[in-house]
Amino acid sequence: METEGPGLLFTIAAFIGGFSILVFIHEWGHFAMARLFGVKVDTFSIGMGKELVGRTDKNGTRWKISVLPLGGYVKFFGDASAASNPGDIPEGLSEEERAVCYHYKPLWQRALIVFAGPAVNLIAAALVFSAFFYSYGIGIAEPVVSTVAEESAAAEAGLQPGDRIIAINGEQIERFSDIGGIVKLYPGAEINVLVDRGGVRESFDVTLGIAYMEDRFENRYPYGQLGITSGEIKRVELGPFGALYEGGRQTVAMTDTIFTTIGQMIIGLRSVRELGGPARIASMVGEAAHISIENFVWLLALLSLNLGILNLLPIPVLDGGHLMYYGLEAIKGSPLSKKAQEAGFVAGFALMLIFMLLVTLNDLQSMAL
């Protein structure tokens, strides 16, 4: 029996609420590290634009919720804007003001303040994954082939039941789930599979099959298919440290998947039409919240991971762009000229604008189908 999906208002509310949580986590990372180093924070805003409601704390920070519910920022003392552009160094400050001004802090402290935002997003994701593993345990199967589907990629390459898969494309395989994590990234591509067959190592070049996953907008996403199944899956209960290990392992694996996918899009192996914009993400969040709170929280952890990684890309206007400038400053011994930095931020803004137009167009095309 098919259940009714979430309504539009529910989807919008779930998306705004969930995204606001992610923004708060990200900006709190910047805020906490800045306060650790004695930087005065003028504003901590969830949302953009005109203030709806807010209060000022004893340290002079204005905490507020703003009218546009997407995004947020922290504004440090001395900033010309919320962007904390490296070139905007205020002049004419007293010694007391310089002591609490972000731009007068040592380079390594400024870099850590910038890095803390994405880092907290990644840590939050890992902790959520760990909490799930602690609560529900984990299913583990040995990387041993149980069955091989007829006319599958595995069958054509010569894989057999009983083969223990040791590595794929040089990546070590510890569990059967590791196989799927790699294979799905290479639809139709040739991969190298190293197996242990009766104590003898053998190498196979396998041209993967292509299967498709379809979303509610009838978008089809290709993924690689090998055509093997595992043996018995054992349910393992985890203690706190085991759960933390598994949460970290999950975070590393998903991070590798994200970077691999980005690289494939850059070199043309994947279509940029697979990228979803606000409408598609909102739909996913709404559906997850409609199913259960567990699904909602798990998806927020995935989005937090993606947000952290996106912000670390070396694109001016993103945190990674700031870190790139600080890296160049460390090498050069002095900041880049303000003109060079401003040109970079204009280019970065244009690139992000093109990206947003692209994913929004993908959403519109999806909804038009």
Q: Phi, psi (5° rounding) for residue 216?
A: -70, -15
How many residues appear in the chain? 369
pLDDT at position 2 is 46
Amino acid at 105: K
pLDDT at 4 over 70: no
Task: Give the pLDDT of residue 101.
Answer: 92
pTM: 0.86
- pLDDT confidence of residue 15: 92
Q: Is 96 a catalytic residue?
A: no
User: Which whole number is the average pLDDT over 314-338?
Assistant: 89
pLDDT band for position 340 (cuts 50, 70, 90) = confident
* H or E stretch at 66: strand 62-76
- The whole-angstrom separation of Cα 282 and Cα 176 is 32
- pLDDT tens for residues 207-266? 999 988 776 656 677 889 999 999 889 999 999 999 999 999 999 999 988 888 888 888
- pLDDT tens digit sequence for 290-311: 999 999 999 999 999 999 999 9
Residue 3 has pLDDT above 60, yes or no: no
- Reduced DSSP (H G I as helix, E B as strand, rest coil) percent helix, strand, coil of the chain, to 5: 50, 20, 30
Residue 1 pLDDT level (bands cut at 50, 70, 90)? very low
Question: Does residue 151 have a pLDDT over 70?
Answer: yes
- How far apart CA 342 and CA 348 sit, in angstroms, is 10
Structural contact between residues 41 and 30, judged by C-beta atoms closer than 8 angstroms = no
CA 108-114-118 angle, to 5 degrees, is 130
The answer to whether 118 touches 308, Cβ cutoff 8 Å, is yes
| CA distance from start to end of the chain | 25
Given the residues 2, 27, 95, 237, the one annotated as active site: 27
Q: Which pLDDT belongs to residue 14?
A: 93
CA separation, residue 144 to residues 187, 318, 328 (Å): 22, 43, 48
∠ CA 121-258-46, nearest 5°, is: 30
pLDDT of residue 78: 79
Least confident of 114-123, 292-301, 313-322: 313-322
CATH class entry, domain 138-236:
mainly beta
Q: What b/e readout covers 189-220, taking b as 16+ CB neighbours within 10 angstroms?
A: eebebbbeeeeeeeebebebbeeeeeeebebe
Give the separation between CA 327 and CA 344, rounded to whole angstroms.
14
Strand ranges (E), 219-260: 220-225, 228-229, 234-236
pLDDT at residue 41 greater than cutoff 60: yes
For 136, 231, 249, the CA distances from 237, given in Å and listed in that order, are: 7, 19, 16
In the chain, CATH 2.30.42.10 covers 138-236
Residues 6+ away with beta carbon under 8 Å from 130:
243, 244, 246, 247, 248
Contact 128, 297 (CB under 8 A): yes
- Residues near 181 by Cβ (< 8 Å), separated by ≥ 6? 253, 257
2 DSSP assignment: P
